[in-house]
Amino acid sequence: MASQDLMTEGDNNLMTPSVGSLGHPEFCRRPCIFFAAGSCNNYISCGYCHCEHEKRVTHLDRRNRELLHSMAAPDRLELLLPLLEQRLESKGLREVAGELLQTLQEALQELRATSEQDRPEDSEEPAPKSQISRMKSGVRKLPCISILGWAVCASPVYLSGLPGDSADNQDGLGGDQALKSPFSQAADQRVTDALNQLRAGMSTAILTDGVLRIMM
């Protein structure tokens, strides 16, 4: 085994997972372009992902983004939660994400109860089923974190530094359209805690493996 003292800075750079890698591959931040080029100087503190990604992150097209923007927060969340659950199921993450999904369902119930009281009588007509179907097809191709970003209005409270946050990614709100979380403060905190717990649990193996490699 070689001592860490004998490792070069470049070796350390190439072996160290980062903060942005937490939750890889479905809940991490987008890939670090500097790491991919072998020159990230932030190492483990880098806010972008240092793990391998199979392909470029998928984005929704403009029409689908506009449709989601136009929907009331509870309608959007109610529509996207089943799609998030399907994506988690397909990736073998349904069980580990159980607490997050349950918390989102509870937050939706609270949000729905509140919004029904404030809903105007002349609410807009729902979008055509064909348009909703096309939008769902696009959403199903997104990573879990981007679906979650749309479901909770890409609130930076949940997604700071992650794909889908308002400053980072088209699957959020386009950079200059950040919205306040639609949830109550208590529900907001519960969802935040559930997401953080999920990401930490998913990332234990990644970070442990990275530390062991550095020590070898």
pLDDT tens track for 164-204? 333 333 333 333 344 567 788 888 888 888 988 888 888 66
- Indicate the range of 106-120, 127-141, 161-175, 179-193 predicted with least confidence: 161-175
pLDDT score for 124: 63
Residue with the bigger pLDDT between 210 and 83: it is 83
User: Average per-residue pLDDT in the chain?
Assistant: 74
At residue 199, the 3 state secondary structure works out as helix
Q: What angle do CA 31, 205, 146 make, to 5 degrees?
A: 40
List phi, psi (to 5°) of 31. Answer: -60, 145
Work out the average pLDDT over 19-29. 85
Q: Distance of CA 99 to CAs 14, 192, 199, Å? A: 34, 11, 12
Residue pair 26/93 in contact by the 8 Å Cβ criterion: yes
Take residue 99 and report the two structure tokens written for it: 């607490």
- Phi-psi category of residue 11: left, alpha or beta, with phi > 0 → left and psi -120 to 50 → alpha: alpha
Under DSSP, the state recorded for 183 is: S
Report the DSSP beta bridge partners of residue 49.
Answer: 31
Residue pair 51/17 in contact by the 8 Å Cβ criterion: yes
Under DSSP, the state recorded for 49 is: B
* CA–CA distance, 73 with 141 (Å, rounded to integer): 21
Residue with the bigger pLDDT between 215 and 151: it is 151
3-state DSSP: the chain helix, strand, coil percent, rounded to 5?
55, 0, 45
